[in-house]
Amino acid sequence: LQGLTLLSKATMMFGLAKYLPVEEVGRFGLFFATINLAMYAVGMDFYAFSAREILSASAEGMPRIVRNQLALHLATYLVVIPPLLLLLVFTFGMLPSSLVGWFCVLLVLDHLGQELQRVLVTLQRSSHAALILFVRQGIWGLGVPAAMALTSKNRNLESVFVVWALCGVIGLLLGVWCMRDFAW
């Protein structure tokens, strides 16, 4: 699944290069890189600490740790994202204001999905984590070029962002379903 995820990302870039203008491909690449770098700011590499805590916790204590981690991340989003947007949009002019909503949605979805994957790996559910990775990052890499090939109305960044967000939501729901057997 991890290999397919990488292959699908390459397929998506070829598809974007074929169906979108060069400026849009460049804008997507910068947007994608910015999301990935911003995930460090909102995540604070907290997963290293939480993994140790989860591994040392009892089965009954683990859900509390995961809930606390989620609460921390939600608070971090409220504290980190506004100044980050000020820097990216107004100070440096690196993020067009038309993409601010997508930036916030995709940053939160990608970060929550990544943290959920890390929790599943810590809980020795690596196959579930790999499946979530494929849903979050692989399927849309295959679906976007296919949708662009089928109809010209899908040949825009908005379609890319919609499918990206949809796969992020599906990945989160799948991850929550994979953890349903814990004593929440």
- Each residue's pLDDT tens digit, 37-91: 999 999 887 888 888 888 898 888 888 999 999 999 999 999 999 999 999 998 8
pLDDT value at position 90?
86
Is 35 within 8 Å of 106 (Cβ atoms)?
yes
pLDDT band with cut points at 50, 70 and 90 for residue 35: very high
pTM (2 decimals)?
Answer: 0.92
> Do the beta carbons of residue 109 and residue 172 sit within 8 Å?
yes
Residue 130 has pLDDT above 90, yes or no: yes
Asked if 144 and 16 count as a contact pair (C-beta separation under 8 A), the reply is yes
Give dist(CA 184, CA 172) in Å, integer: 17
Picking from 181, 63, 47, the residue whose alpha carbon sits closest to that of residue 113 is 47
Q: Give one word for 156, left, alpha or beta, with left for phi > 0 and alpha for psi -120 to 50.
A: beta
Query: Strands (DSSP E) along 33-154, which ranges?
Result: none
Least reliable range by pLDDT among 45-59, 124-138, 156-170: 45-59
Q: 105-123, pLDDT tens digit by residue?
A: 999 999 999 999 999 999 9
Neighbours of 90 (CB within 10 A): 10
Where does the pLDDT of residue 183 fall: very low under 50, low under 70, confident under 90, or very high at 90 and above? confident
Whole-number average pLDDT of the chain:
92
pLDDT at 184 > cutoff 80: no
Q: Encoding tokens for residue 68? A: 């606390």
- Residue 62: its pLDDT value, please? 87
* Sequence-separated (6 or more) residues with CB below 8 Å from residue 57: 64, 65
pLDDT for position 79: 95
Amino acid identity of residue 109, one-letter, is L
